[in-house]
Amino acid sequence: MEKLFLMGAPRSGTTYVQLVIAQHPAIVTCNETHVFDGYLESMFAHWRGHLRDPRAIGLSACMDSEDFRALVRDQAELLFEQMLAAQPTDGCKLFLEKTPAHVLNWRNIVDVYPDARFIHLVRDPRGVVASLRRAGRGWGSHWAKPGILSNANRWRRYVTSGLEAEAVLGERCRRLSYETVLRSPADMLGQVYQWLGLPQQGLDLEGMAAQCRPEQLKTGDAASPWNTGAEPEGFFGGRGAKGWENDLSRFQTAQVELVAGQLLDTLGYGRVTSPGLRARMVNGVYNQVASLEWRLGQLRSGM
């Protein structure tokens, strides 16, 4: 079965987009697998580490790179089969896998599945940061943080890796904008299905998209292979593309824009705070660092 990996920064709307796309009868999907960013990541790390080791240890002592890739592929296929075991797959030609953090592992995925396709979902960093902060103060406190700068840097790291995937993979990696999808999910479906070479004759794209509205996801009434209503309260935000305007202060927005930098312009989001405010923030950080260095110097001189 062909593989399509949907990836992006966390809290970018990947679950919503995943379930909308998966309405096609030729597509099967499941909840996040974390196969490559969790279960198999250590295999790649150990393999590459032992390749640099002067001693003949590890799997590299008994197999070549192609054999190792085949081994990892077998493990991945077994894990995916287990995740899909409870679902009918007859007539399905494509498996849609969605784990946001796989955007940091796309090279390993390509190593194992050289013909796989990818969707890189991008969302306004101010919306991502606002959503991550809410998760960090509630249901997602075990993995998300309530801070501004840490979450903004997280967005930047994930998006930068996704853009690198786009540059390397070309037509095999398609970028989607969360905000554009919200405006017209049916148009997105038509474009994605055409890109995938899937038939659209007889499909009601508007009706398919309507089966995964945010309110339905919250109540568990959406067309989904798992009960989305069992997700923790707050998992599905449903605050719209501009909800962050009510969540972030002007100063917090400036912090996000300062970290996001040129990527905001590259992705077409633009900035809403003034260059003067961002400059004062940079100057403030510089002064704090300089003050800290001076205090450390005073402490050392007194020792």
Residue 233 falls inside a structural domain: yes
The two structure tokens encoding residue 299: 């402490």
Angle at 232 between CA 230 and CA 237, to 5 degrees: 110
| Burial (CB count within 10 angstroms: exposed 0-12, middle 13-18, buried 19+), residue 249 | exposed
Among 9-13, 38-42, 50-54, 105-109, which is the least confidently predicted range? 50-54
Count of structural domains, the chain:
1
Q: What percent of the chain has pLDDT over 90?
A: 67
List strand residue ranges (DSSP E) for the chain, in order: 2-8, 27-29, 94-98, 117-122, 173-177
Average pLDDT over residues 276-302: 60
Task: List the CATH number of the domain containing 214.
Answer: 3.40.50.300
Cα–Cα distance between 257 and 230 in angstroms, integer?
34
Rounded distance between C-alpha atoms, residue 193 and residue 22, angstroms:
10
Q: In this predicted structure, what is the pLDDT of residue 286?
A: 47
- Span 162-179, mean pLDDT? 97
User: Per the domain annotation, does 278 fall within a domain?
Assistant: no
Distance CA 39, CA 45 (A): 12
Residue 101 CB partners (closer than 8 Å, separation 6+): 7, 10, 34, 37, 158
pLDDT tens sequence across 1-45? 899 999 999 999 999 999 999 999 999 999 999 999 999 999 999
Structural domain contains residue 97? yes
Residue 137 neighbours by CB under 8 Å, 6+ apart:
146
d(CA 11, CA 185): 18
> Residue 46 to residues 33, 57, 64, 132: CA-CA distances in angstroms?
21, 10, 14, 31
Is residue 121 within 8 Å of residue 8, measured between CB atoms? yes
In a domain, 200, yes or no: yes
Note the pLDDT tens digit of each residue in 205-216: 999 999 888 888
- Residue 89 domain flag: yes
- Is the model more confident about 56 or about 159? 159
pLDDT at residue 61 tops 80: yes
pLDDT digits (tens, 9 = 90+) for 150-167: 999 999 999 999 999 999
- Rounded CA gap, 303 and 290, in Å? 20
pLDDT higher for 54 or 20? 20
Answer yes or no: is 22 within a domain.
yes
Q: Which two tokens stand for residue 229?
A: 């209503």
| 301 in any annotated domain | no
Q: How far is Cα 254 from Cα 272, in angstroms, rounded to an integer?
A: 8
Q: Is the dihedral of CA 128, 133, 139, 144 positive or negative?
A: positive
Q: How many residues does the chain have?
A: 303
Domain coverage including residue 80: 2-245
Whether residue 71 is contained in a domain is answered as: yes
